[in-house]
Amino acid sequence: MPRKKRWRRVHREPPVSVFKPAGIPAKSLQEILLTVDEFEAIRLADFEGLSQRDASAVMNISQPTFNRILASARNKVGRALVQGCVLRIEGGRYLLADGTGVLVCQDCGETLDPDTDSDTCPYCGSKRIRWFRWKNGVEQ
């Protein structure tokens, strides 16, 4: 039986979503996708200096899961630096810690329980579940 995946709690979305080597057209560069939860792992471990134990608690995931996300994130950032790739930060399985949003099924439009561990819509079975964020009544 596959283990349920938890939504990873992210406190801050990245201020910049694309890093690109200067002076080279983007279309001739390879692109690496870093998910927002991977970005959060780097922010907590390498920027804030949290232990993996504390950082995993902040993200509401197990320590082995945090360890795996951090290793993947560091590998991607390292590859981007060494090989001169575009680094794009977006997507991933996360929700925002401040609760300023709502979890919505993109196929049937139902609002879902944000504490769910499931990645499948209970109403229509879709896996296209997305976290929408609002700020001052405007979707971000």
Per-residue contact flags (x/-) with Zn ion for residues 67 to 106, judged by CB under 5 A: --------------------------------------x-
Half-sphere exposure of 103 (CA within 13 A, CB side): 21
Residues 48-67 that bind Zn ion (CB under 5 A): none
Stretch that binds Zn ion, among 3-11, 62-70, 92-100, 113-121 (CB under 5 A): 113-121
Non-local CB neighbours of 79 within 8 Å, separated by 6+ positions: 32, 85
33 binds Zn ion (CB under 5 A): no
108 binds Zn ion (CB under 5 A): yes
111 binds Zn ion (CB under 5 A): no
For 2-47, what is the HEC assignment? CCCCCCEEECCCCCCCEECCCCCCHHHCCEEEECHHHHHHHHHHHH
Q: How far is the CB of 102 from Zn ion (least distance, A)?
A: 14
Record the tokens describing residue 15, joined without a space.
């201020």
Stretch that binds Zn ion, among 25-33, 48-56, 88-96, 125-133 (CB under 5 A): 125-133
Question: Using CA atoms, how far apart are residues 92 and 87, in angstroms rounded to an integer?
Answer: 15
Binding region for Zn ion (CB under 5 A): 105, 107-108, 121, 123-124, 126
